[in-house]
Amino acid sequence: MTQITRMSTLYAPTLKEVPTEAALASHRLLLRAGFIRKSATGLYSYLPLGWRVIRKIEQIVREEMDAIGAQEMMMPILQPAELWHESNRWDDYGPELMRMDDRHGAGLCLGPTHEELIADLVRNELKSYKQLPTTLYQMQSKFRDEIRPRFGLMRSREFIMKDAYSFNVDEESLHESYAQMSKAYGRICDRLGLRWRAVDADSGQIGGSTTCEYHALADAGEAELVSCSCGFASNTEVAECIPHPTSQGETELRRIETPGVATIADLAAFVGVPESSTVKALVGKDAEGTPVAVFIPGDHELGEIKIERAVPGFEFMTDEEMEDAGLPKGSIGPVGLPEGVRILADRSLEVIDGWLVGANEHGFHYAGALRGRDFEVDEFADLCTAKAGDACPECGNALEVNRGIEVGQVFELGDKYSRTMGATFLGKDGKEHYFQMGCYGVGISRCMAAVVEQHNDEYGIQWPASVAPAHVCVLPLVVGDDAVQPVAERIAAQLADLGVEVVIDDRKERPGVKFAEADLMGWPLQLIVGKRGVADEEIEVKNRQSGEKTTVSFSAFREALTFASKAKSRLTAFLDSIGNVAVPSAR
């Protein structure tokens, strides 16, 4: 039997107005429906309903972790600086790491992730190959001093993460743990009711090589993903980009006066060619301060991660720096660049003869600039961000672009941390070996926002039954009425007996208010008990997701209860039979 939740005493303060900064549906609705409240930038309280959803998400994640043999534990949030010095991340992690000193002056940080802490833990405890593989996980608040905390729970400074770490004897065993974990992540996304995609990704701060991100598809997502019907899918940050620059056709070097041409769009329009026939220049410097001119097809953008890989420490030059280096902004080209400027170009430009590009003089461009004759390129590399219509690197078909919210990521770390931190075990051969490690994160609190982002309409949230704060809301339309109230209470009690989580709106509010708030809070099923219905021995049933309303007689309702009470999964049976509510792939 479950507890009945009473709206008359529930702490779920709803809002009519929300701050204008709440730009996303998930942020707005979680505030409006009284699920979360902001305490400061990037810091949120979960009110009772929000906390229930968090616990449901955690439970789904827990079940899937336990099902693959991972063991739940808990590590301290506060971590000693020494461990981060050992891995060199005290310096490498940058200002996102929240640091402090204790009263003795010892450095500490609030954990943004736990590779160091767990590597330290096991290096003294997991001693033999016989104990491997072992996977440990925890669910806990993490801290990152994000440069731009925003969108409510989506990018906050304190957030809840599930982080798991596997310890393996060799690469093969690591691949197995990684594959199992990847499958579990797919099941988690399914059970959260998410439309999702797993994509190739960058390993960023954490390090390692093989990695995959799990994204909930949503227009509001901060990430951009490319995918193809052949199965290829990648974060655009790292997707191999195959642009199709088009030759402008000219091969004689021709200097063109281009007054007022400041952008690629201007240039293309001025010359009367598509943007893909122009060559865009970007100017920066490498870690040593050497100027680098980067050329890419005019219809593409430079990829941040890709340029960092090609030119470590790359930074764009400021206008003054460009001026000082004799580089006229808006008119940069490879022909006649000042001495000492390194020239880098996107691979796709290797086959283009006759570049339409800046002439290194304000108000002038060149057409027909030919590599080998008019200029040289020091290095070609994959530099652009892939976009819709570019060729799929696996099959050549046109790529599709979607936006996504990263809800999880899995990594094969290899021995990156075990080596720097000296974490070894005794192998079968009697020798010490470094652990092969994997790490696997799910953003629990971000998941809540992602679910709302995918499941809402103009009236409010439409929770999938698997994570809803309660399954059914019983709405007695006239509270205190001798006929209505007892029927509603009885229904709620019967549902609670069955194990269905039920809310009863026992407030003395107008029906309109109750309907609006039930829709806003997003209970999957509403059972409406009115005076006339009771007289006719029937209730109204509303499926929040589909909006479908049906009238169910008392006897049919009793039958559904009896049927469900005998079913293996009572909840699923009841929701399905009475309101056509699906529970996303219940375990």
471 interacts with ligand ATP by CB under 6 A = no
Alpha helix ranges (H) inside 355-440: 416-420
* Residue 544, phi then psi, degrees to nearest 5: -65, -35
Is 464 in contact with 192 (CB distance < 8 Å)?
yes
Give the number of residues in contact with ligand ATP, rule: CB under 6 A. 17
Beta-strand relationship, 525-529 and 472-476? parallel
Residue number, 159 or 375, with CB nearest to ligand ATP: 159
CA distances for 77 relative to 111, 141, 152, angstroms: 5, 7, 22
Least distance in Å: CB of 227 to Mg ion?
A: 18
Residue 587: CB minimum distance to Mg ion, A: 26
Alpha helices for 68-143 (secondary structure H): 81-86, 89-92, 115-123
Instruction: Tell the smallest beta-carbon distance from residue 31 to ligand ATP (Å).
Output: 16
Helix/strand/coil (H, E, C) string of 288-348? CCCEEEEEEECCCCECHHHHHHHCCCCEECCHHHHHHCCCCCCCCCCCCCCCCCEEEEEHH
- Separation of alpha carbons 122 and 8, rounded Å: 50
The least CB distance from residue 88 to Mg ion, in Å, is 20
Question: Which residue lies nearer to Mg ion by CB, 166 or 409?
Answer: 409
Q: What string marks each residue from 362 to 401 as x (binds Mg ion by CB under 5 A) or -?
A: ----------------------------------------
> Out of 27, 416, 446, 514, which residue is the one contacting ligand ATP (CB under 6 A)?
446
Query: Is 5 near ligand ATP (CB under 6 A)?
Result: no
- Residue placing its CB nearer to ligand ATP in the complex, 137 or 159: 159
Whole-angstrom Cα distance, residue 389 to residue 246?
A: 14
Q: Residue 277, SS3? A: helix
DSSP state, residue 559 = H
For ligand ATP, the binding residues in 195-224 under the rule CB under 6 A are: 204, 206
- Contacts of ligand ATP in 405-424 (CB under 6 A): 406-409
Question: Does 194 participate in binding ligand ATP (rule CB under 6 A)?
Answer: no
Is residue 50 within the footprint of ligand ATP (CB under 6 A)? no
Q: What are phi and psi of 96, to 5 degrees?
A: -70, -20
Q: Which parts of 110-139 interact with ligand ATP (CB under 6 A)?
A: 113
Question: Minimal distance in Å, beta carbon 13 to ligand ATP?
Answer: 24
Helix (H) or strand (E) segment spanning residue 562 = helix 554-566
3-state secondary structure of 154: helix
Q: For ligand ATP, which is the closer residue by CB, 450 or 491? A: 450
Residue 132 burial by CB count (10 A; 0-12/13-18/19+): exposed, middle or buried? buried
Q: Of 333, 441, 524, 530, which lies in the binding site for ligand ATP, with binding defined by CB under 6 A?
A: 441
CB of 149 to Mg ion, least distance (A): 16
- Residue 377 exposed, middle or buried by CB count within 10 Å (0-12, 13-18, 19+): middle
On the 0-12 / 13-18 / 19+ scale of CB atoms within 10 A, 514 is buried
Closest distance to ligand ATP from the beta carbon of 220 (Å): 13
By CB under 5 A, the residues from 408 to 427 that bind Mg ion are: 409
Region binding ligand ATP by CB under 6 A among candidate stretches 225-233, 242-250, 441-449, 544-552: 441-449
Tokens 């093989």 -> residue: 210
**How many residues are there in the chain?**
587
In angstroms, the first-to-last Cα distance of the chain is: 20
Query: What gap in Å lies between CA 436 and CA 426, rounded to an integer?
Result: 13
Instruction: Write down the least CB distance from residue 237 to ligand ATP, Å.
Output: 9
Given candidates 156, 180, 235, 278, which one binds ligand ATP under the rule CB under 6 A? 156
Pairing mode of beta strands 364-369, 342-346: unpaired
Considering the complex, state which of residue 224 and residue 275 has its C-beta at the smaller distance from ligand ATP.
Answer: 224
The smaller minimum CB distance to ligand ATP, of residues 207 and 524, is found at: 207
Give the per-residue contact string, 509-528, with ligand ATP (x = CB under 6 A; - = no): --------------------
Please state the closest distance from residue 297 (CB atom) to ligand ATP, in A: 27
Q: Specify the 3-state DSSP secondary structure of 467.
A: coil
- Binder of ligand ATP out of 28, 56, 155, 544 (CB under 6 A): 155
In the list ligand ATP, Mg ion, none, the entry touching 528 (Cβ below 5 to 8 angstroms by class) is none
Task: Indicate whether 236 belongs to the interface with ligand ATP (CB under 6 A).
Answer: no
Distance (Å) of CA 55 to CA 100, 452, 521: 30, 16, 17
- Which listed range, 1-9, 259-267, 384-392, 443-451, lies at the site for ligand ATP (CB under 6 A)? 443-451
Please tell me whether residue 235 binds ligand ATP under the rule CB under 6 A: no
Instruction: Decide whether 133 or 443 has the Cβ nearer to ligand ATP.
Output: 443
Residue among 112 and 476 whose Cβ is closer to ligand ATP: 112
Considering CB distances under 5 to 8 angstroms, the limit depending on partner class, which of ligand ATP, Mg ion, none binds residue 469?
A: none
* 295: contact with ligand ATP by CB under 6 A: no
Least distance (Å) from ligand ATP to the CB of residue 380? 29
CB of 42 to Mg ion, least distance (A): 17
Interface pick for ligand ATP out of 159, 178, 196, 232 (rule CB under 6 A)? 159
> Which region, judged by CB under 5 A, interacts with Mg ion, from 5-13, 17-25, 404-412, 443-451?
404-412
Residue 22, φ and ψ in degrees, nearest 5: -80, 85
Give the strand pairing for 502-504 and 472-476.
Answer: parallel
Q: How far apart are CA 351 and CA 473, in angstroms?
A: 65
* Residue 443, binding choice from Mg ion, ligand ATP, none, Cβ under 5 to 8 Å by partner class: ligand ATP
In the three-class reduction of DSSP (H, G, I as helix; E, B as strand; rest coil), residue 198 is classed as strand
User: Of 192 and 367, which has the nearer Cβ to ligand ATP?
Assistant: 192
User: Using an 8 Å Cβ cutoff, are 57 and 39 in contact?
Assistant: no
Listed residue (350, 347, 330, 327) closest to 339, CA to CA:
327
Q: Among candidates 516, 451, 545, which has minimal Cα distance to 26?
A: 451
The residues of the shown chain that bind ligand ATP, judged by CB under 6 A, are 113, 144, 146, 155-156, 159, 161, 204, 206, 406-409, 441, 443, 445-446
Which residues lie near Mg ion (CB under 5 A)?
409
